[in-house]
Structure 1
Amino acid sequence: MARYNKIFLGPVDQNKPQVQERICAAAVLPGTALIESGANFAQAGAAAATKVYIAQDDYLALKDVDTAWPAGDRVVGMEPLDELFFACRVPTGNNIARGGNLTTNAAGKFVPATTGQRVIMIAEETYNNTSGADQLVRARKAQPGMVQA
């Protein structure tokens, strides 16, 4: 069962994040990273180097955060903006520390950044994912150009 039931976590007194709707050839889970691929979305790869969007939960079809958008479907990608919080999908076996730098793995999921990797998000909570399944961890956007030292 998911620890969160939404991908956009607030704050709720500000406008919701900017979103793009585009076709994505691959099935993607909410909370994973997307990148632009021409007029479409593609699942982000390891240490994504371009603009990153976060796949929103498919609220239009009343799906939960653990239900993937089907391959070839129109996916809602949220643009991470400063001071907004998102639930980022972290694969099992990762120990996330509050304030820790996050990048993407080959499946577009968020993992701790290692030396020299682009930092995409900053963890806003500590969570040791030993659950045996992907989990959602609260995070915010990293400053542009940040690289793990």
Structure 2
Amino acid sequence: MARFNKIFLGPVTKVKPDVRELIANAALKPGRLAVISSGKWVLAGATTVGKVWIVQDNYLALKSVDDDWAADSTAIGIEMQDDELYAARVANGVNVSAIGTPLTPGANGTLAIASTSDLVVAYADEVYNNNSGSEQLVRVRAAGSQSYLSAAS
């Protein structure tokens, strides 16, 4: 069961986030990161270097954040902006130990803790040690401009 019931968390003064609808290349779980490849949504991975989007929950069909978008269906991706909060998925075993922890794309569209020279796409907005046995949603704020950590950081 997810810790949040929506992917876009606010602010409440912004009614709708900026989104894009594309065909899902594979099943997409809300809260995972995706990239656009050949005009379709593809899950982001550890080697992702381009712009990432976050997969929206399928509110149009009254689905929850735990219900996948089916492969070859039209799915919605949110363009992450740094003045908004999102619930993004971290894999089991990821320990977000401090607010402001830099996060990078990991396996299967989940977020991982960023290290030197990783693409930083978001910063943690809560502390959460995911030892639940499954992926969990963690509150994050998008990086202002997706950048790379350097040894000087």
TM-score, normalised by the number of residues in structure 1: 0.95
- Give the length in aligned residue pairs: 149
2: distance between equivalents of 1:87 and 1:114? 21
Q: CA deviation at 1:145?
A: 4.6
User: 5+ residue gaps in structure 1?
Assistant: none
**CA–CA distance in 2 between the matches of 1:109 and 1:137?**
11
The answer for the alignment partner of 1:40 in structure 2 is 40
**CA shift for structure 1 position 142:** 0.7
Matched, 1:3 2:10: no
Q: What's the CA shift for 1:63?
A: 1.0
| Long gaps (5+) in structure 2 | none
The answer as to whether partners of 1:47 and 1:103 remain within 8 angstroms in 2 is: no
Instruction: Give yes or no for contact 1:34–1:53 (8 Å, CA) kept in 2.
Output: yes
Please say if residues 7 and 30 of structure 2, whose CA atoms lie closer than 8 Å, have aligned partners that are also in contact.
Answer: yes
Report the Cα offset of residue 80 of structure 1: 0.4
Shift >3 Å, 4+ stretches? none
CA distance in 1 between partners of 2:120 and 2:47 (Å):
8
Pair 1:67 & 2:67 matched: yes
Provide the C-alpha distance between the structure 1 equivalents of 2:44 and 2:55, rounded to a whole number of angstroms. Answer: 11
Which residues in structure 2 correspond to 1:58-137 (within 5 Å)? 58-96=58-96, 97-137=98-138
Distance in 1, matches of 2:78 and 2:58, equals 12
Percent identity, aligned pairs only? 46
The root-mean-square deviation of aligned C-alpha atoms, in Å, is 1.2
Query: Do 1:44 and 1:104's aligned partners in 2 also have CA atoms closer than 8 Å?
Result: yes
